[in-house]
């Protein structure tokens, strides 16, 4: 089974990356984690997880500064990549092919190899520059998937909302999951 690369940046919403890693592990899908320095800091601010705990959820964890790591090469086969959350800084780097760290290099490789790149962009409100970056990344082949809560599945907890967004991201990667109740028409 091909691995999925999971990038976690310093944007608010690092729990999306954590929950994606948990779900992929439960599905026995191998993962390669690239946790940015800001992402590691934000784990301490927003969650009860530390970087080592999150790294332990992945099969392999890479130093974000190691541009010689496997995900930096197109010959390293993957199912695709999920950046959850994706900061505007990271979006800008991806949209402009600025690959100064492993996370943005892996995203660039994912696009050039025509694999699925899912960006859970986390920012609000958005100005025209943000929208143009998203459009540019989408034109290059990225899936822009901001975590937008749905309510048709009658969420009861924040975890329900998070899992629905993560489930949609996994759907975009072609990974079957049951993280949320799917719409089947009005009851």
- pLDDT tens across 91-134, in order? 999 999 999 999 999 999 999 999 999 999 999 999 999 999 99
- Where are the domains positioned within the chain? 4-173
Q: Tell me whether residue 78 is annotated as binding.
A: no
Q: Tell me whether residue 87 is annotated as binding.
A: yes
Q: Tell me whether residue 158 is annotated as binding.
A: no
Would you say 39 and 14 are in contact if contact means Cβ atoms under 8 Å apart?
yes
Q: Which residues contact 123 (CB under 8 A, 6 or more apart)?
A: 11, 87, 88, 130
CATH number for the region 4-173 comes to 3.40.50.1950
Q: Region 3-21: what's the mean pLDDT?
A: 98
Check pLDDT > 80 for residue 187.
no
Average pLDDT over the chain, rounded to whole?
97
Q: Tell me whether residue 168 is annotated as binding.
A: yes
Q: Tell me whether residue 90 is annotated as binding.
A: yes
94 phi, psi to nearest 5 deg: -65, -45
* Order of strands, sheet of 4-8, starting from the edge strand that comes earlier in the sequence: 60-62, 31-35, 4-8, 80-86, 116-121, 143-144
Q: Tell me whether residue 10 is annotated as binding.
A: yes
Q: Tell me whether residue 88 is annotated as binding.
A: yes
Q: Region 33-60: what's the mean pLDDT?
A: 98
- pLDDT tens across 133-146, in order? 999 999 999 999 99
Tell me if the pTM is above 0.95.
Answer: yes
Q: Tell me whether residue 152 is annotated as binding.
A: yes
pLDDT at 10: 97
């Amino acid at each position: 089974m091909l691995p999925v690369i999971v990038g976690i940046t310093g944007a608010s919403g690092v729990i999306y990356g954590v929950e994606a890693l948990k779900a992929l592990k439960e599905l026995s899908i191998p993962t390669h984690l690239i946790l940015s320095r800001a992402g590691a800091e934000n784990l301490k601010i927003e969650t009860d997880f530390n970087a080592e705990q999150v790294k332990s959820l992945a099969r392999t964890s890479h130093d974000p500064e190691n541009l010689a790591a496997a995900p930096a090469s197109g010959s390293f086969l993957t199912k695709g990549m999920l950046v959850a959350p994706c900061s505007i800084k990271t979006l800008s780097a991806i949209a402009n092919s600025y690959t100064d760290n492993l996370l943005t290099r892996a995203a660039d490789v994912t696009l050039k190899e025509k694999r699925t790149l899912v960006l859970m962009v986390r920012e609000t409100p958005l100005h025209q520059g943000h929208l143009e970056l998203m459009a540019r990344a989408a034109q290059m082949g990225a899936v822009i998937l901001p975590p937008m809560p749905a309510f048709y599945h009658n969420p009861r907890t924040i975890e329900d909302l998070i899992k629905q967004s993560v489930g949609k991201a996994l759907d975009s990667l072609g990974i079957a999951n049951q993280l949320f109740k799917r719409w089947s028409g009005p009851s």
